[in-house]
Amino acid sequence: MKNAVCCRMNYKRLSTDERETISQQIVLNASLPAIATLLGRSVSTISRELSRNAGDCVHASAGAGMPYKAFQAQERAEHAARDRRKRTKIGDSALLQDIIKVKLQLRWSPRQIAQYLKTTYPDNRRMHASHETIYTYLYVQAKGTLKKELIGYLRQQRPRRQSKSKPEEKRGKITNMTSISDRPPDAEDRRVPGHWEGDLVMGKGNKSAIGTLVERTTRFALIVPLKSHDAETVRRAFGRAMLKLPEHMRLTMTYDQGKEMAQHELFTKQTKMQVYFCDPHSPWQRGTNENTNMLVRGFFPKGTDFNAITTKELLFVQHALNERIRETLAWKTPKEVFNNFINQSFDVLR
């Protein structure tokens, strides 16, 4: 019997059986201490249970206050538990909701918003929310038109969040990769120009491609025509594009783990640019390039055969992107800011 009492003492909440026992003992006019001893619970636990579910029933008798019914008490407890699970940091904070909505309207990503909250409210953890918490708020907790509106501000407006489980990596491993975690701080904070992000935009059936290279500080983009998208072709084409620039404007390259960058060591030898590789399935680590690719897709939608696209057409799109004013550049164009950094008469668009 003693062991049974000890086991019951481990319960944090009253069980259905315990509530049935309380109901039976009330009918027998048992005292609170007697019920508590029988269940191996404290008197205060029994008292709180009756206060919540039997009105003013203080002395646990059948005639005091409203009757205690075990099944109703259990339903209330389960409902309260569901409410507790539904409560969230963002859902309970109108200020957090407002900040997130405003930043989303400015096309900030959840990861950027999470960092903003951490930086703006360093000593107030109640105002901190991870990017995963923000995604959960958008996809799970927000409802109806609000959910549709908020998700509409995301760069990729998926109706539901993709699973976090990572598929098996089928691409060949690239040897001697240098992780993005080792990238110099100058590249991270964008204060020093010359740090680039690169990627491919694939054509119809993945049978054709173009290269996109974008400078992180100025958002200046280069669109590189490709005859093929094997590692050697990409390395040579990217190298030729970079070597047209002054040395101080080609410092590093950040790339995903696509096999087209397998010859990164030869690329570094050719251009003196160290290549840093993102973590698997982490496109936000080269978000400037991801955004550029979406802009390129505005001109060349999915299904485009890039083998049928001329160099002249690619240059037209490159000009269009680089001569578009940007709020993040104080309403200057990428071309203007890029040329200011070069600080010499050099036609970067020739």
**Is the pLDDT higher at 163 or at 129?**
129
Mean pLDDT of the chain: 83
What the block records as the tokens of 71 is 């099944």
For residues 237 and 211, the answer to whether their CB atoms sit within 8 Å is: yes
Q: What is the mean pLDDT of residues 114-142?
A: 86
For residues 301 and 201, the answer to whether their CB atoms sit within 8 Å is: no
Domain edges within the chain: 2-86, 94-152, 180-342
Least confident segment among 14-28, 186-200, 210-224: 14-28
Q: What is the pLDDT of residue 276?
A: 95
Q: What is the pLDDT of residue 82?
A: 59
**Residue 345's pLDDT band (cuts 50, 70, 90):** very low
Per-residue 3-state assignment (H helix, E strand, C coil) for the chain: CHHHHHHHHCCCCCCHHHHHHHHHHHHCCCCHHHHHHHHCCCHHHHHHHHHHHCCCCCCCCCCCCCCCCHHHHHHHHHHHHHHHHHCCCCCCCHHHHHHHHHHHHCCCCHHHHHHHHHHHCCCCHHHCCCHHHHHHHHHHHCCHHHHHHHHHCCCCCCCCCCCCCCCCCCCCCCCCCCEHHHCCHHHHHCCCCCEEEEEEEECHHHCCEEEEEEECCCCCEEEEECCCCCHHHHHHHHHHHHHCCCHHHCCEEEECCCHHHCCHHHHHHHHCCEEEECCCCCHHHHHHHHHHHHHHHHHCCCCCCHHHCCHHHHHHHHHHHHCCCEHHHCCECHHHHHHHHHCCCCCCCC
Least confident segment among 44-58, 185-199, 207-221: 44-58
* Structure confidence by residue, pLDDT tens digits, 166-212: 444 444 578 999 998 888 888 888 889 999 999 999 999 999 999 99
* Structure confidence by residue, pLDDT tens digits, 287-299: 999 999 999 999 9
Report the candidate in 116, 112, 142 with the shortest Cα–Cα distance to residue 128.
116
Least confident segment among 63-77, 94-108, 195-209: 63-77
Confidence check: pLDDT of 59 > 80: no
Residues 6+ apart with CB under 8 A from 184: 252
**Residue 147's pLDDT band (cuts 50, 70, 90):** confident
Q: What is the mean pLDDT of residues 135-159?
A: 74
Q: What is the pLDDT of residue 321?
A: 95
Q: What is the mean pLDDT of residues 127-131?
A: 88
What the block records as the tokens of 311 is 């160099």
Q: What is the mean pLDDT of residues 204-232?
A: 96
CATH class of 180-342: alpha beta
The highest-confidence range among 24-38, 43-57, 149-163, 326-340, by mean pLDDT, is 326-340
The pTM (predicted TM-score) of the whole model is 0.52
Residues 6+ apart with CB under 8 A from 204: 302, 303, 304, 305
Confidence check: pLDDT of 67 > 80: no
* Structure confidence by residue, pLDDT tens digits, 281-334: 888 889 999 999 999 999 999 999 999 999 999 999 999 999 999 888 999 999
**Residue 26's pLDDT band (cuts 50, 70, 90):** confident
Per-residue 3-state assignment (H helix, E strand, C coil) for 153-205: CCCCCCCCCCCCCCCCCCCCCCCCCCEHHHCCHHHHHCCCCCEEEEEEEECHH
